[in-house]
Amino acid sequence: MIEVRNLTKRYGGTTAVDDLSFTVHSGRVTGFLGPNGAGKSTTMRMVLGLDRPSAGEALVGGRRYRELTHPLRHVGALLDPSAVHLGRRALDHLRWIAASNGIDRRRAVELVEQVGLGGARDKRIRALSLGMRQRLGVAAALLGDPQVLMFDEPVNGLDPEGVRWIRDLLRGLADEGRTVFVSSHLMSEMALTADHVVIVARGRLVKETSIGALTEKGSLEDAYLDLTTGRGL
Amino acid sequence: MRNALAAEWLKLRTVRAPYGILATTGLMVVAGAALSVLIVQDYDTSPAAEQARFASADSSVVITPVVQFLAAALGALVATSDPRLTALTAVPDRTRLLLAKTVLVAAVTAVLGTVTLAVSTGTSWVVVGDRPPPIAPWESLGDALPWASAAVLSILVTGLAGLGLGLAVRSTVVAVVVVGVLLWGIPAITPMLPQPWDTDTSAVMVPYLVWQVSGVAEDAPLGPVAATAVLLAYAVVTIGAGAVTLLRRDA
C-alpha cells in the first residue's frame, strides 16, 4: 500500500504538488492521471525519496522509502528508462542493482530472460531500442520481487506488442495481490489496464475513484477531460 | 554498507572508462621507465663535469602528477557515471551511498598509487644500478619510501577530491577540469606571486605538498605533519562539498 498524506512540493514560488492525499491499495492497478505538469512524476519521486517534500509525507507499507534497508525488496519502480549508463551491458545493469539490495545474482539472469531480453543480455544498453530499455527497466523493478510497483508512463515509445506486454504484466502483478501504481497520459490504455484512478491537476487531487464509477456516463477520456478542465462530471 | 560497496565495485568494473584509466596509468609507467633509460644512457656518455649536474633518473617524480589526475578522473567517474535517479532508488540511504563510494575510491586509488609507485621506483632503481648521485635518487631502496608513500597519499587524496567535486558539481567533465586547475593551473601561477605570497601559497599546492609530506624537501615551509594535514584537507573539503550536495539536494 502507498499512502500519500498532505504531500506538498514547492520549487521557489511554484507549487508542483499541493497538499495531495490519496491511498493506493494492493490487488489492483491504480492509474495516476493528469495533464503535463500536474505533479505526477514529482509525486512519484517523493514517494521514492528522490525529492524531499516541502510538507506532508509519503509512505510505502507504512514506512518512508528512505528508511527501507533493502528498498527494492519492497518497492520496484520504473520512472525513467533512460536513467542508465549506456556503456554498461544489460545483464550487468541488473547485476549491480541486485547487488545493492543483497538480491541473488541469479535473479538478474532469470529476469533478463523473463522480460524477453535473453538474446540481448550482453549488449551494451546504448545498442538497445527504446522498447528494450523499457523492458530492462521493468526487469530492474521486478528484481526484488516487491509487493509495491510504480511505473511512470511505462508504455511510452512501445510498439503494440510492447504495450500489450506491459498491460498483461501490470494486470498479472495486481492479480497476484501486489500494489501497482501507474501514471499515464493514455486514457485508452488506462481504461484497459486500471481498476482505480487518482486524477490530479495543477498539483491537487481532482478525483480518486474506480474506473467503473468514472465511466458510468461515458468514456474515461471524456470523464478525464471534464475533470481536468474544471467542468466536473 | 556491504551491499552498497559491492554494487559500487560492480558498477566500476562493468564500464569501459576505468580500464582506460588503468591502461593510461600503465602507459605512463612504461613511458617513465623509458625516460629513465634515456637519462641513464645520456649520463653514461656525458663528461664527468656534466654528470655532476644531472637530475635524478627517478621516473616516479615525473609520472605522479599524471597519476594524480587519472585518480581524480576515476573519482569523478564513480561520482557521476550513473544517473542519480537509479542510484538513489537502489540505495536511498545517501550517507551509506556516499560512504560506499568514498571507501571504493580510497581503496582503488590507494592500490593504483601503490602499484604505480612500487613499479616506477623499482624500475628506476634497477635502471640506475650502481651509478652515484645525483643521477641515483637514493642510496638504498628504503630511502625511496618517504617520497613514494607521500606520492601514494597524494594519489588517494586527488581521487577523493575527484569524487567529492563530482558529487558537488554533478558533472564528470567539470570535476576533472577543476582538479586539473588545482593540480597544474594554480601551482603554475603561485610561484609568480610577489614574496611572501609565492612561498606561502605554493606551500599548500598539491605538487609541493607531496615533497613536504615526504620530509625530503630542504627548507620546506611546512613540516611533514602540517603538510599531511593540508593535503588531507583537500579530500575533506571536497568530500564535504559533495556530501552537502548529495545529502541535501533533490536527486
Contacts of A65 in chain B (CB under 8 A): 92
Does B153 touch chain A if contact means CB atoms closer than 8 Å?
Answer: no
Judged by CB atoms closer than 8 Å, whether chains meet at A102 and B3 is answered as yes
Does the domain at residues A2-74+148-229 carry the CATH identifier 3.40.50.11740?
no
Min distance B13 CA to chain A CA atoms (Å): 9
Judged by CB atoms closer than 8 Å, whether chains meet at A50 and B250 is answered as yes
Using CA atoms, how far residue A213 sits from A151, A164, A196, A207, B234, in Å, is 23, 24, 9, 11, 62
pLDDT digits (tens, 9 = 90+) for B86-127: 999 999 999 999 999 999 999 999 999 999 999 999 999 999
Contacts of B15 in chain A (CB under 8 A): 85, 87-88
Give Cα B13 to chain centroid, integer Å. Answer: 21
pLDDT digits (tens, 9 = 90+) for A93-128: 999 999 999 999 999 999 999 998 989 999 999 999
Contacts of A99 in chain B (CB under 8 A): 3, 6-7, 10
Contacts of A66 in chain B (CB under 8 A): 92-93
What pLDDT does residue A191 have? 86
When pLDDT is cut at 50, 70 and 90, the band that residue B130 belongs to is confident
Min distance B47 CA to chain A CA atoms (Å): 55
Judged by CB atoms closer than 8 Å, whether chains meet at B90 and A97 is answered as yes
Using alpha carbons, select from B180, B140, B147 the residue that is nearest to residue B162. Answer: B180
Residue with cell 554533478: B170
Min distance A51 CA to chain B CA atoms (Å): 5
ipTM score: 0.87
Nearest C-alpha in A relative to B86:
A83
Min distance A76 CA to chain B CA atoms (Å): 9
pLDDT digits (tens, 9 = 90+) for B132-181: 888 888 888 888 899 999 999 999 999 999 999 999 998 889 999 999 99
Judged by CB atoms closer than 8 Å, whether chains meet at A100 and B6 is answered as yes
Q: Is the pLDDT of residue A233 over 50?
A: no
In this structure, of A113-122, A223-232, B209-218, B234-243, the range with the lowest mean pLDDT score is A223-232
Q: Which residues contact B199 (CB under 8 A, 6 or more apart)?
A: B221
Contacts of A48 in chain B (CB under 8 A): 88-89, 92
In this structure, of A70-74, B215-219, B228-232, the range with the lowest mean pLDDT score is B215-219
Q: Evaluate whether B226 touches A28 at the Cβ level (below 8 Å).
A: no
Average pLDDT over residues A184-198: 88
- Report how many domains make up chain B: 1
Which of A48, A83, A89 lies closest to B14 in CB terms? A89
Using alpha carbons, select from A173, A171, A179 the residue that is nearest to residue A60. Answer: A179
Please, what is the average pLDDT of chain B?
A: 92
What pLDDT does residue B139 have? 84
Does B5 touch chain A if contact means CB atoms closer than 8 Å?
Answer: no
Query: The C-alpha cell of B60 is what?
Result: 616516479
Q: How many CA atoms lie within 13 A of B61 on its CB side?
A: 16
Average pLDDT over residues B6-34: 95
Judged by CB atoms closer than 8 Å, whether chains meet at B90 and A77 is answered as no
Ranges of each domain in chain A:
2-74+148-229, 83-145
Q: DSSP per residue over B55-113, as a string? A: PP--HHHHHHHHHHHHHHHHHHHHHHSS-HHHHHHH---HHHHHHHHHHHHHHHHHHHH
Domain with B39, as residue range(s), is 2-248
